[in-house]
Each structure stands twice: as structure tokens, then as C-alpha cells.
Amino acid sequence: MSQSQQPEQKKAPKELTLEQQLLQNNPLHGLSLEKMITELVDHYGWEILDTALRMNCFNTKPSIASSVKYLKKTEWAREKVEGFYLSRFKRMPRASAAEFELPPRMRTFAHGITPKSPMELTVESILLSQAKAASAHKERSNNGRHRRR
């Protein structure tokens, strides 16, 4: 029998570790930066991304290409956008303290947890949320000062 006539041998599927299985449940698994930014811009638009994330790549002459280029170079910015994608666009559960220390692409999600529909955001709702967070932060800071005295 020649080589071309031999029956094909099927390769056994590679066993995935539990961590690999959990990482596959992360919506960022296998997602390119370009695809992620495109999805976010198509759903929210540049103005909402700029208001929510406060990055110049979403404000000054924004484009998919320039945003991807910036995010590839700037780790903290990429992680901030990926976190926004997970929490607001895919509405995945909040990361535990241990998971929060990991970059968003390395966070695991239990099997069966699926993304939800994107959170509806407006510039006004984002500004209100940011004002509440700033007020809460100021309150915590002031309470800490009073205790030290």
C-alpha cells in the first residue's frame, strides 16, 4: 500500500489542563485587539469610549488602527480597555482579589458563565458614575484622615 492509500490516522484531541479550559471561557481568549476595538466602537462609539476610558487614542483623530497601535505599546492602557470590554461590554462577573491582580486576558471564568448583552451607556451615565466614584473616594480619604488624629 502506498503512502497515499494508507488510511488517515486521527490524532487524539490534546487534553487541556483545567486552567486552559477556564481561560477558554474568557471572552478575550483568541480575540485580537483590532476585533475588540471594532466591537466596542461599533456598539458604543468613540465619544463614549473616550468618556469612559479617558484615553487620547479615543479622542484625538480616533481610528481603529491608531488605537490598536497605541494599545499594543501601552500595557496599562490595553489592560484598562480589556477590563472595560469584560465588565461593560461582555458583563462578566467581577474578578476576585487574586484574579484582579492578573491581566484581563489571564483571568479565568468558571465553565458555564456566559457573556451577557452589553451594558447600555451614555456619556451622561458615565459622568454620573465617575462623579459618584470620586465622591466615595473623597469620603473614604476624609474618614481616614480623621481617624489618624
CATH code of the domain covering residue 113? 1.10.720.30
Q: What is the pLDDT of residue 66?
A: 97
Q: Does some domain include residue 10?
A: no
Chain segment 29-49, per-residue pLDDT in tens: 889 999 999 999 999 999 999
In which residue are the cell numbers 473616550 written? Answer: 50
DSSP letter string, 105-130: GG----TT----PPPP--HHHHHHHH
Q: Does some domain include residue 66?
A: yes
Q: What is the pLDDT of residue 110?
A: 81
Q: What is the pLDDT of residue 25?
A: 81
Cell reading at 105: 486576558
Q: How confident is the model at residue 115 (pLDDT cuts 50, 70, 90)?
A: very high
Read off the pLDDT of each residue in 47-69 and give the average, rounded to a whole number: 97
The boundaries of the domain holding residue 45 are 18-118
Is pLDDT of 81 > 70? yes
Domain count within the chain: 2
Q: What is the pLDDT of residue 64?
A: 98
Predicted TM-score of the model (pTM): 0.80
Rounded Cα–Cα distance for residues 18 and 68 (Å): 31
